[in-house]
Chain A
């Protein structure tokens, strides 16, 4: 007797449940299509343009972030190290190598969803191309860790997952055409605290 209403209810439940959940998931999981992935680093050179896809538009409207114009620079983000493990403040990491050509760059960490980290004001929460110490071949190695390190130290809160953000200022990479031979720094795990 209740067969037809039950079937209608089933169809409606799937429609609204699946439709809403998948939309929310899509907005959280991705910034849109058209990303450049270089190892663990991801950038979205077209996310701020009028040709951005609907997912990118929905994401930036929900996020409310101030995106960089194409003449300003390009932001690369990494939530994983080069072997694919999630970045966490329980471990320390080495970010080593060179950035693509850019006039300046800055490196800092945020929470996995892009919010500022709660870090002591006296801790080094950011590094940039002027202050980083380089080797003789102009490569640099930045140690990302919760406790103080010699050399280039980027502080992160202990025990929390984080995301690295590398902003290239005034870079030809933002033109996004010749992105194939861009080399980004490698993120390797240097060690972990005992759990």
Chain B
């Protein structure tokens, strides 16, 4: 059996059994049209009332959920305030002034000269890294959820390997429901196209597997710090 056969034979047999169960045929135009239309439609089924709010209301909602999930939320009035916010957060948690970060142009373009002792190492996370710094492409107010997209700008391992994760998100990138965030992913990457990973992150890592008691810091970050930047130009 060729490699081609090893794939198509079980595939066709499985699809055939599914069609038999559904009493459907492979060439039913109406069914195909229904599926094609549904995949193209992409409209939200139901958006919870709680996100029917102006921008500052969404920001408050986002902050409330994140803090409820034991994340730290910091406001930065301008992008220029981000470096000192990062440095202060590290200091207040007795962490060295060092973060791992990707090539994100927004983060790279900040004025880091104000924090000369804060070292930024570039690239994917390494096992010894204590803190990472990422830029979220959006945040979903509905449940306090950051939307991270993988790539050289924001390597996926930064979200999970270090014990501390600091995420910067622009206030203008706060959206109400999940669907609005996915629309942003679509406009950034193309319809039906996704980066290798899209991570929805809603707090530090946690588990309740030991006796049903909630513990933060299971395998991923123990601390999540979210810096919301206003007035990003």
Q: Is the pairing of A and B real?
A: no
Query: Contact residues of A with B, CB < 8 Å?
Result: none
Query: Contact residues of B with A, CB < 8 Å?
Result: none
